């Protein structure tokens, strides 16, 4: 369930004019920016961007970048990009940082085949080279094989599964992932080629056979980037809502909030399943997610996140 419920009767021209007025005078009227952009869905925001450019011969995104600052500016920027373009930016930032390939795994594992293809197309348009090319340049070994395989996959999306195959591949994953005795290439092959339904059947078979989930105790302090990416891949396919709940839980429990992770989840899931993520967070941690967001953030950044969560500050 989404947390964003956009009005059906908005006028892109009126919204563009109101935003222009918010930029004029001494200082920016951030409340108007939040009131408009925080209550519009992706399609409506793209209409506003086009209307703004037609009326004022100016790029709305560039104007917002010049008017806003800090975490608020970054959140607004990521919110108003088209979803595929946003994911392309998130993937590029993750690759260039060299330390958060989980973001790439999220995108590749959670999006539909068509959505992932659109991200790859947006990436090429923005950066003039492919997502898989950048991943191959910045990684090596099994991590490279896994990430390139994930982003280039175009998976079957039906419900058909092969029970015998699920059993045999559960055994392969046990040897490769848990015992670290088998072929890592085989683990990569399974995770990058099988449909979501087939993978879930394999993970379920693993649990039935071994009495525990495949991700249980998969990570420890010595885990490398490849093992972390394996873990994220399996979690994302198994239950991406619970996976995202862990992302935001980790983001707010650190000494110093991880604003990038918090922003990423809220802006990317507000039109999809952010309500479900919030509900799982509340159930697991006995505190409403919006209360934690309000406590861990401040200013206009806090107001925007709460608006996207369906709350008003």
Annotated binding site for Ca(2+): 23, 25, 27, 67, 254, 256, 294, 296-297
Structure tokens at 124: 């090429």
Residue 10 backbone dihedrals phi, psi, to 5 degrees: -75, 155
Nearest to 191 by CA among 170, 162, 209, 208: 170
Annotated binding site: 23, 25, 27, 67, 254, 256, 294, 296-297
Phi and psi angles of residue 196, each rounded to the nearest 5 degrees, phi first: -60, -40
DSSP letters spanning 296-309: H--HHHHHHHHHHT
Q: What burial letters (b/e) apply to 138-153, b meaning 16+ CB within 10 Å? A: bbeebbbbbbbbbbbb
Report CA 176 to chain centroid distance, whole Å: 27
* CA–CA distance, 226 with 89 (Å, rounded to integer): 22
150 contacts 237 by C-beta, under 8 angstroms: no
Residues 169, 174, 178: CA angle, nearest 5 degrees: 150
Q: Pull the structure tokens for residue 145.
A: 């094989």
Distance CA 6, CA 38 (A): 9
């Amino acid at each position: 369930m989404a947390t964003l419920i956009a009005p059906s009767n908005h006028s892109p021209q009126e919204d563009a004019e109101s935003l222009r007025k918010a930029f004029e005078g001494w200082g920016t009227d951030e409340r108007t920016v939040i009131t408009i952009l925080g209550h519009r869905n992706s399609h409506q925001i793209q209409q506003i961007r086009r209307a703004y450019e037609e009326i004022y011969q100016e790029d709305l995104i560039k104007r917002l970048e010049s008017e806003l600052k800090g975490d608020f500016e970054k959140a607004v920027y990521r919110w108003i990009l088209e979803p595929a373009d946003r994911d392309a930016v998130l993937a590029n930032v993750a690759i260039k940082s060299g330390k958060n390939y989980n973001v790439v795994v999220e995108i590749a594992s959670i999006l539909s085949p068509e959505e992932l293809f659109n991200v790859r197309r947006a990436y090429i348009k923005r950066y003039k080279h492919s997502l898989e090319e950048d991943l191959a340049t910045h990684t090596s070994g099994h991590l490279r094989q896994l990430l390139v395989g994930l982003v280039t996959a175009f998976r079957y999306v039906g419900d058909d599964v092969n029970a015998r195959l699920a059993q045999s591949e559960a055994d392969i994953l046990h040897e490769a992932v848990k015992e670290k005795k088998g072929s890592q290439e085989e683990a990569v092959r399974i995770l990058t080629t099988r449909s979501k339904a087939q993978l879930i059947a394999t993970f379920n078979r693993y649990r039935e056979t071994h009495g525990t989930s495949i991700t249980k105790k998969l990570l420890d302090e010595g885990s490398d980037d490849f093992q972390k990416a394996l873990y994220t891949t399996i979690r994302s396919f198994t239950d991406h809502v619970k996976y995202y709940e862990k992302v935001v839980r980790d983001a707010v429990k650190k000494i110093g909030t991880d604003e990038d992770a918090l922003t990423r989840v809220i802006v990317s899931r507000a039109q999809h399943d952010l309500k479900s993520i919030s509900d799982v967070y509340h159930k697991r941690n006995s505190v409403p997610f919006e209360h934690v967001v309000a406590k861990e953030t401040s200013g206009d950044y806090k107001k925007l996140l709460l608006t996207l969560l369906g709350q008003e500050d």
